Amino acid sequence: MALPEERHVLVVFPHPDDEAFGVSGTISTYIKQGTPVTYACLTLGEMGRNLGNPPFATRESLPEIRKKELQASAEAMGLTDLRMMGLRDKTVEFEEDEKMVGMMAELITELNPSLIITFYPNLSVHPDHEATARAVVRAVRRMKDRPKLHCVAFANNTLEVLGAPDIVHDMSAVRDQKMGAMKAHISQTAWMLEEMEHKLAQGDMDTENWLTQERFYAYRWDQDFEETF
């Protein structure tokens, strides 16, 4: 599936593996189409829950493991512009608002993207997700000429608040790249991938559709999160 032509795509998420499950097919497709893509990952996921049983990592060694996994995910997608922004996992929500907005504004000014992809404020469950989404939206809100803002939302009340996704990308053509990106983050995703591959082998179409369709909401400035949620 060809995606709409873009000048530059900026993807902003807080954790290694956030990109793999929700948008790696979209990233891979834009890259195949020759569109420049930048992924700004705010942390190295050093507080990830999985240290293995028996442990394969410590809190001290996990950041380097996850950094290498993030680089492997980028390689699987064909991504060359990976930015590691240096914040600490599970503390993004405590960063000063203007610092976060400034970080996003600097990226946007440098890259001049026509499309930004991030989480949807108040509909992305994790505090780091929410803080990232707020910062991106606040930075874009201040712009005179705003890029398009496509958001991932997966809170339980997403359909109730937003309805069905505005944008659905068929990623069947880059299925292997998406699997590669997910498998790259094996320290945190091994059990999930094992369960998913079992379901795929059983012909579970819900799992296949989840794998090959990526869903986004165009941010609704007429229902801006700071006014309505």
Instruction: Report the chain's terminal Cα–Cα distance, integer Å.
Output: 34
Query: Residue 59: pLDDT above 80?
Result: no
Q: What confidence tier does 52 reach under pLDDT thresholds 50, 70, 90? A: very low
Residue 146 has pLDDT above 70, yes or no: yes
Q: Please state, for a pLDDT cut of 90, what percent of the chain lies above it.
A: 80
Q: What is the pLDDT of residues 164-184, one digit of tens each?
A: 999 999 999 999 999 999 999
Q: What is the pLDDT of residue 187?
A: 84
What does each C-alpha distance from 163 to 134, 154, 216, 218 come to in angstroms?
20, 12, 11, 12
Q: Where are the alpha helices (DSSP H) in the chain?
A: 18-22, 24-32, 62-77, 97-111, 127-141, 158-162, 175-184, 186-201, 205-212, 225-228
Q: Can you tell me the distance from the alpha carbon of 142 to that of 2, in angstroms, rounded to the nearest whole number? A: 31
The whole-model pTM stands at: 0.93
Question: What structural domains and CATH numbers belong to the chain?
Answer: 9-228 (3.40.50.10320)
pLDDT in tens, 104-145: 999 999 999 999 999 999 999 999 999 999 999 999 999 999
**pLDDT band, very low/low/confident/very high, at 1 (cuts 50, 70, 90):** confident
